[in-house]
Structure 1
Amino acid sequence: MTALAVIPARGGSKGIPRKNLLPVGGQPLIAWTIRQALAANEDREGDVIVAASTEDAEIAEVAASYGARVIERPAELAEDTTPTEPVILHAMDVIEAEGTALDAVLLLQATSPVRRPDTIRRAIDQFRETGVESLVGVVPESPFFWRPPSAPGESATAAYDPQHRPRRQELTPEQMHYFENGSLYVTAPHIYRTLGNRIGGRTDLFVLDEVEGVDIDTVADVAAAESMLSRLGWSIP
């Protein structure tokens, strides 16, 4: 099974300038996702092609230095308003034009640097073994959610039965809610080709560990990411 793991890494960033190169645990932010994707090839036949898609020369140099294949992104696919799916399709075109037949395409978000060493390999294995057409990375959350009153004088409503509130440790997988945090998606190539979307056809959930839900939105998130990476056994220079 040959999988293409694409890490979109545009040079511009509205929140944190040059975010993909932000130092996290002594390495550029994008380096963590590259390392994790490359780890999926350990003890295997190198069936995961790890590629960073970027229009930025500095990001390209850093990505290549950590072992990623660099796909030069056209300027028209590097605008603030550019959706992600055309970027993935462009990367697929580049790889398939070289004669590589793809069985799966992974979309990996560089701003979600916290993953277990075997997470990406387990996601690929689940995709293959279940035969689904798309796999969505999610983080489990308790069902203790509320909606505000829909009109004055009405009551707020709960997503669970407050009269029979379960203890958290007794919750079953079916009672949990699952948050799509953008960390990873695994998709059959034909879904991108026919629907232009990362999600389609028969879809399953890939449940990430709660600690893998860290996303770098602000500089304050860096300390949390570094702590979790260390806890998961990643070496930090």
Structure 2
Amino acid sequence: MRVAIIPARGGSKRIPRKNIKDFCGQPMLAYPIKAALNSGVVDKVVVSTDDAEIAAIARKYGAETPFMRKAELADDFTGTTDVIRNAITELQQLGWPLSHCACIYATTPLLDSERIAGAYRMLLSSKAGYVFSAARFSFPIQRALLQTPEGGVVPFDPANIMQRSQDLAETFHDAGQLYWATADTWLDTTKAVFGPGSRMLLLPAHLVQDIDTAEDWRRAELLYQLLQAPAQ
């Protein structure tokens, strides 16, 4: 059984209740649920939450909530991998025959079914430990700058600050959307998500947007509306 697990705790601080806040007419959580269900590679969607209202909304849009997340796994310090491992363990104890599991973040309205399916196919064809969504940095990180306490400027990487962009290695970052692996791989604490055995599904920049502030939220809405607009 292939399951998408969506972590969605109730205690978001920077944007209160952001996992179920209205986003372009629907609760934010509805978007990844529907994308996963429509991908053709996910048998069930499970939302891991500690919050009854979030659980009810998850079920309304087709997800399942066969367990409630414990409070100690819903604080500000628990990592996503621990939450996914807990969800897999809970599902296995309920008798679910899990083969592959995707972790999809709740605030991913720009993630579509095609990318979910594409990442799963990459996992199978590459025999990677993990496949996750990623994007290229738009500017060489080797030429990044730091601000001193006095307001001055120093290079982050002095050895490369004067190098030409085309001479520097291309760099990438986690898109914070989607992660596929087998259930066994998720449970294996010796295997890191970001390691040599992993592969990246590269996304275009217009499909990548963290949503941590009101400004982020507005930009994501504008991107979503542009993507939904009919082609001229």
**TM-score with structure 2 setting the length:** 0.82
Helix, strand or coil at the partner of 1:179: strand
**Partner residue of 2:151?**
none
The whole-number CA distance in structure 1 between the counterparts of 2:178 and 2:86 is 18
Q: C-alpha root-mean-square deviation of aligned residues, in Å?
A: 2.9
The whole-number CA distance in structure 2 between the counterparts of 1:206 and 1:160 is 28
Superposition pairs of residues 110-189 of structure 1, within 5 angstroms: 110-145=106-141, 146-148=143-145, 156=155, 157=157, 164-166=164-166, 175-189=169-183
1:192 aligns with 2:186: yes
Helix, strand or coil at the partner of 1:34: helix
**Partner residue of 2:213?**
218
Select the residue among 54, 57, 70 that pairs with 1:59. 54
Helix, strand or coil at the partner of 1:181: strand
The whole-number CA distance in structure 1 between the counterparts of 2:179 and 2:63 is 18
Number of equivalent positions: 221
Distance change >3 Å, CA 180–CA 158, structure 1 → 2: farther
Report the AA paired with residue 122 of structure 1: G
Distance change >3 Å, CA 75–CA 177, structure 1 → 2: same
Deviates more, 1:131-140 or 1:51-60: 131-140
Report the AA paired with residue 189 of structure 1: A
Select the residue among 197, 213, 216 that pairs with 1:202. 197
The whole-number CA distance in structure 2 between the counterparts of 1:66 and 1:86 is 25
Assess if the C-alpha contact under 8 Å between 1:116 and 1:232 holds in 2.
no
Select the residue among 204, 218, 224 that pairs with 1:229. 224
Gap regions ≥5 residues in structure 2: 149-153
The whole-number CA distance in structure 2 between the counterparts of 1:197 and 1:183 is 19
Cα displacement (A) at 1:229: 2.0
Instruction: Quote the sequence identity (%).
Output: 30
Helix, strand or coil at the partner of 2:29: helix
Superposition pairs of residues 22-101 of structure 1, within 5 angstroms: 22-41=21-40, 47-70=42-65, 71-101=67-97
Helix, strand or coil at the partner of 1:51: strand
Cα displacement (A) at 1:104: 1.9
Cα displacement (A) at 1:96: 2.1
Report the AA paired with residue 114 of structure 1: L
Report the AA paired with residue 203 of structure 2: L
**TM-score with structure 1 setting the length:** 0.80
Cα displacement (A) at 1:194: 2.2
Greater than 6 Å deviation, 4+ residue runs: 158-161
Assess if the C-alpha contact under 8 Å between 2:46 and 2:63 holds in 1.
yes
Assess if the C-alpha contact under 8 Å between 1:143 and 1:176 holds in 2.
no
